[in-house]
A and B are shown apart, each in its own frame.
Chain A
């Protein structure tokens, strides 16, 4: 049997006195779709940063297809096929939408192929009408789409989405759900999301983080009926 796409062992991250992530054993199969939930400050974004090399873990290891990437640099991990949409949108604000996608597509493509990838992506994320707009001048929701397009334009094999639906309208959220399903036809994904309706629609396996550790891992319906999970996280929201 070959190694899983992502495997962490005893993964931990400590910031001074704060243990942001502790002892996480996490496995993701090829082409799997996983949701990551948990209250604010549970360590989800920190976990993502360790998967992408933005932070080097203070304990434990991260492996990508059996290869230890715990100390690798972000650009090295990106070149192994991992793309991330960060929680705070990170795009090239001074450039146009098209230029943003071009930079991404040019990393993995050459010549005329770059342009065709960009054109296809503009259609896929619905940004063709604003292709020549400067990204910094777009609305927050549209910048989220730009970042999604940028991440997908490098054609990664694992896509990490940190709260992709934040600040989106209902229609945009529905479109994001559709897009996640589309992406999942060819790629593995981990999605951090607060919106339970969103997770229900994706209907995938869910990992619950609490205080930096994995609380439980199960199918979405089982998670929604798990009393401990309701206690630490969902209680208020499901009741509401």
Chain B
């Protein structure tokens, strides 16, 4: 679905208004970082259109353009409930993520963690951390199940998204039908938990014209050693090379 092209003008205006800070910061970072060392003459100007490549066909765009945005643009028609998602999850996902999303071995934990973001050991999960429900849909349809990506149908992805959201009570009713019209409206607990890169301001002190060079403080003491943690692979840990 070529939804970017089909965006109505009004929607586009709202969207632009919603992200000016991100954009401003990105632009600033670019402006700052773009001073190249000019040692070579610029390449001769090429015509903007080179006559290379060909227009993409609608079917080709349809095949590849499957991404989903936070405003719901890109969501395919379909539906599913957490109850349906539960059985799919046990079949296709639980070997790695555990029956309740608790994670097997080092595979990602998908449940729990709500309220831990300020804790000493925060648990960043879909429910505790992710700002947008649409990202769950986009990601699992894009990359999961690990090793068999892009095998889920639109309905399966809605059901699995509903199940994952129900793990952290974002969706409480197991029979609630998640679909292309309501997914983007689901409010995530940590939706307001993010802000744009502010290092240029918040870390201004790291720009320092005259860093200390001499007698910069008392003699330092060792307060921690990697060898006491003892988690470094040894020399033999490398893969074999023939």
A and B: partners?
Answer: no
Seen from chain B, the residues whose Cβ lies within 8 Å of a Cβ on chain A are: none
Seen from chain A, the residues whose Cβ lies within 8 Å of a Cβ on chain B are: none
